Structure 1
Amino acid sequence: MTSRALAVTGATGRLGGRVARRLAAAGVPQRLVVRDAARAPDLPGASVAVAEYGDAAAARAALDGVGTLFMVSASESPHRAAEHRSFVDAAVAAGVERIVYVSFYGAAPDATFTHARLHHETEEHLRSTGLATVMLRDNLYLDFMTALVGDDGVIRGPAGDGRVSAVAQDDIADAAVAILQDPAGHDGRVYDLTGPEELTLTEVAGILGAHLGRQVRYVEESVEEAYASRAHYGAPDWEVDAWVSTYTAIAAGEMAGVSPDVPELTGHPGTTLAELLARG
């Protein structure tokens, strides 16, 4: 490990919290950069600094003396890309040497999934800084597959017969911690973090139904139907675009493919959907 501090963002959330707890269990000192100090986990060897991504002055102060920064992406919002740029620039100004960034699978300027385009933009900004970088391109979270099921036991969306290689958050955290304990050896790398299987939503529905003990099925929608069926939520256009493009990206084949990176980084196989459900 570098003698400079290791900072972890997102420690009050699902992924950053997993990473922070694993680092603490391994005896790795860390600085938790959070928006609300009262919500920061109380972990051995961890200090707390308060900063929001869009507050450049606070971020620069919070990152002073940091060598490696684990950067979980900001909460989804219309200002997310600008907040990322501001935080990255603050890291540069603070003298951070390396950023391990949680990106998205297939990040590209022409990606179907809207957030994959945003992550590409952040990746490009990171590279432009001259800092050492490590990109963790996570597929969809396996942990959220149950949330796709409506109250009527139906998964609806324009995904066709496309496949998704969703990844468990525990596996992402294990991979991240393996990198953060020896980060220099990973500089410049882009890792695709997927599960060990690529499933159609029909197959996902079958696995979920077997676990829940009731019928779950996938019903194909057209893109127009997908927008119409989500209109009652009253969500802003950018958010509905993200919801629908999750499915169209699956249909386009952009969520498919099984990468060896999780087992190679962690030393254990990735988690299947059935295994994750069985853990409760």
Structure 2
Amino acid sequence: MTTTLTITGATGEVGGRVARALADDGIAPRLLVRDASRAPRLPGAQTRVAEYADHDAAVAALRGTDVLFMVSAGESADRVEQHRCFIDAAARANVEHVVYTSFAAASDDSTFTLGRDHWATEEILRESGLAFTLLRDNFYLDIFELFAGDDRVIRGPAGDGRVSGVARADVARVAVTVLRDPAAHRNVTYTLTGPQSLTLEQIAATLTEVRAEPYRYEDETLAQAHASRSVYGAPDWQVQAWISTYTAIASGVLAPVTDDVERVTGTAPMTFEQLLRTGA
């Protein structure tokens, strides 16, 4: 029996990697996007259009789907409500199984404020009656270089806390493995990390070595962090999310390393240095 897979986020980094890997394996996924013109052109793939918050369009787009890869919506003040709407649409469309990209330290009082959105979404999934697989990703290794300003200084209140970041490519590999045999991962939660637990000082040192330019980490107080970010005119919830990225690292909750990537895929995850050198 053929399983119909629907992939969200196919215009983004993780969803796009998943969609392309499935297509390379001869599996024609259905791509659910907000803008059809941006959808990747993949052999046999169907493209359907809906937004998470558009319940009726989502129901129509999801009909016939057996397994749904649900990449979390973009950061917003109403992200949980968007997720609630979309998961309800999935249930109404008779989707059987949802594979969701969550967060490694998701909880109702997560130090990383956006981790609370992920926890709420997990609870919605648990209450929905749908089968699920939760991919609790640590912070992406791919973004740490972007933490540095134009002066190559990473600033934030992370202290000497550690983070076991994971490459987007490794998250995608796990997702593809799960989607190939979803029944084997039914109602399972994986915490996806890289193989190292690094301080931001170590991350800066690795950037210095690989890029052959001087990077450094400068610890900030909370007051300094608020002042340096308030100039962007972002809403308060967004500023709090930016700052809590660093305070979550400082808290130690993102430090543990798991073997879930290797256990699921059979291949060890990339180190930060490997990611920088390969550009994977």
Whole-angstrom CA distance in 1 between matches of 2:44 and 2:20: 11
Cα deviation digits, residues 233-276 of structure 1 (max 9, x gap): 11111111110000000000111111100011111111001101
Give 1:156's aligned residue.
155
Matched to 1:97, the amino acid is: E
Deviates more, 1:171-180 or 1:207-216: 207-216
Is the 1:168–1:276 contact (alpha carbons within 8 Å) kept by the matching residues of 2?
yes
- Answering whether residue 133 of structure 2 is matched by residue 140 of structure 1, we say no
Give 1:193's aligned residue.
192
Whole-angstrom CA distance in 2 between matches of 1:8 and 1:153: 36
Pairwise CA distance, 1:210 = 1.0
Cα deviation digits, residues 94-119 of structure 1 (max 9, x gap): 00000000000111101100111110
Whole-angstrom CA distance in 2 between matches of 1:153 and 1:26: 40
Please provide the CA RMSD for this pair.
0.8
Give 2:94's aligned residue.
95
Whole-angstrom CA distance in 2 between matches of 1:176 and 1:270: 13
Is the 1:153–1:217 contact (alpha carbons within 8 Å) kept by the matching residues of 2?
yes
Cα deviation digits, residues 148-194 of structure 1 (max 9, x gap): 11111211100011100110011000000000000011011000000
Matched to 1:84, the amino acid is: H
Tell me the secondary structure at the aligned position of residue 209 of structure 1. Answer: helix
Tell me the secondary structure at the aligned position of residue 86 of structure 2. Answer: helix
Matched to 2:181, the amino acid is: D
Whole-angstrom CA distance in 2 between matches of 1:4 and 1:90: 19
Pairwise CA distance, 1:4 = 4.0
Tell me the secondary structure at the aligned position of residue 233 of structure 1. Answer: coil
Is the 1:107–1:116 contact (alpha carbons within 8 Å) kept by the matching residues of 2?
yes
- Answering whether residue 175 of structure 2 is matched by residue 176 of structure 1, we say yes
- Figure out how many residues of one structure are paired with residues of the other and give that number: 279
Give 2:52's aligned residue.
53
Runs (4+) of structure 1 exceeding 6 A deviation are: none
- Answering whether residue 277 of structure 2 is matched by residue 278 of structure 1, we say yes
Whole-angstrom CA distance in 2 between matches of 1:130 and 1:4: 19
Whole-angstrom CA distance in 1 between matches of 2:7 and 2:152: 38
Is the 1:4–1:65 contact (alpha carbons within 8 Å) kept by the matching residues of 2?
no
Q: How does 1:114-125 map to 2 (within 5 A)?
A: 114-125=113-124
**Identical amino acids, percent of aligned pairs:** 55
Question: Given the two structures, how large is their TM-score scaled by the length of structure 2?
Answer: 0.98
Matched to 2:102, the amino acid is: S
Give 2:9's aligned residue.
10
Whole-angstrom CA distance in 2 between matches of 1:72 and 1:232: 30
Matched to 2:171, the amino acid is: I
Cα deviation digits, residues 64-99 of structure 1 (max 9, x gap): 011100000001111111100000000000000000
Tell me the secondary structure at the aligned position of residue 96 of structure 1. Answer: coil
Give 2:255's aligned residue.
256
Whole-angstrom CA distance in 1 between matches of 2:20 and 2:29: 10
Structure 2 segments unaligned to the other structure (5+ residues): none
Tell me the secondary structure at the aligned position of residue 252 of structure 2. Answer: coil
Matched to 2:88, the amino acid is: D
Whole-angstrom CA distance in 2 between matches of 1:100 and 1:279: 28
